[in-house]
A and B are shown apart, each in its own frame.
Chain A
Amino acid sequence: NAGVTQTPKFQVLKTGQSMTLQCAQDMNHNSMYWYRQDPGMGLRLIYYSASEGTTDKGEVPNGYNVSRLNKREFSLRLESAAPSQTSVYFCASSDISGRGRETQYFGPGTRLLVL
């Protein structure tokens, strides 16, 4: 049981290049999320997927696209990377119980540097 896995762990891009960050979970969770964390900051939600086949914007969606490939996988794409997108990206998953208690399980993160 690996939990939430992310690839790659590190990436350096030049401005204007594109890339896709991959995320997979093996906990059979319905919901998945992408966050970014800048130095000294909390996590900010980029996009989320409440269930397979649905996606929705979070706080900071500009410059990103997502795909919920199946129940296990949720990818984040940068079409034209900018230095402002230098950050650590975390994927997370959870099951919405409807009782108001949310436990999100996070992956190890992808450290992205855009030059």
Chain B
Amino acid sequence: GQSLEQPSEVTAVEGAIVQINCTYQTSGFYGLSWYQQHDGGAPTFLSYNALDGLEETGRFSSFLSRSDSYGYLLLQELQMKDSASYFCAHSPGNTGKLIFGQGTTLQVKP
């Protein structure tokens, strides 16, 4: 089967750094994607890791370790607007269809 596990909630303060983990048990793994969703709105793409290591995009970075079946999203210099749900996802067999984790709700406090 395909499963991606994430913590359900994470809380951090403004200006801090937070890490959201994702562990997966999948077949046909090609890479790990991350999406952000504000208040039930449209999910938006954040990053993708095909290879092991760190990918940096501004304040957001994403990491993948294939040997550990593990990845994380790192958010730096947290802002109130980063309060949202974050989902890891992968496309089994590189078919384009996505399997999502259940999401992590990040609450940023002043």
Contacts and interface: CB of A to CB of B under 8 A. Distances in A.
A104 interface: yes
Nearest to A102: B91
B98 interface: yes
Given A48-B96, A102-B48, 12 more contacts: A31-B96, A33-B97, A37-B40, A41-B102, A42-B100, A42-B101, A43-B87, A50-B96, A102-B98, A108-B41, A108-B42, A109-B40
A90 B45 CA distance: 14
Dominant SS among interface residues on chain A: loop
A48 B98 CA distance: 10
Contacts, number: 67
Interface string B41-64: 111110010100000000000000
A94 interface: yes
12 contacts: A50-B95, A94-B96, A96-B94, A96-B95, A96-B96, A98-B94, A100-B31, A100-B91, A100-B94, A104-B98, A106-B43, A109-B41
Interface of B: 8, 30-31, 33, 40-45, 48, 50, 87, 89, 91, 94-103
A108 B38 CA distance: 11
Contacts of A31: 96
Nearest to A31: B96
Contacts of A112: none
A106 B96 contact: no
Interface residues of A, number: 30
A7 B101 CA distance: 26
Nearest to A99: B50
Contact of A45 (B41, B50, B94, B97): B97
Interface of A: 4, 31, 33, 37, 40-45, 48, 50, 58-59, 88, 90, 94, 96, 98-109
- Which 6 A-B pairs give the minimum distances between C-beta atoms? A42-B100, A106-B42, A100-B30, A96-B96, A42-B102, A103-B45
A44 B30 contact: no
Nearest to A94: B96
A46 B89 CA distance: 15
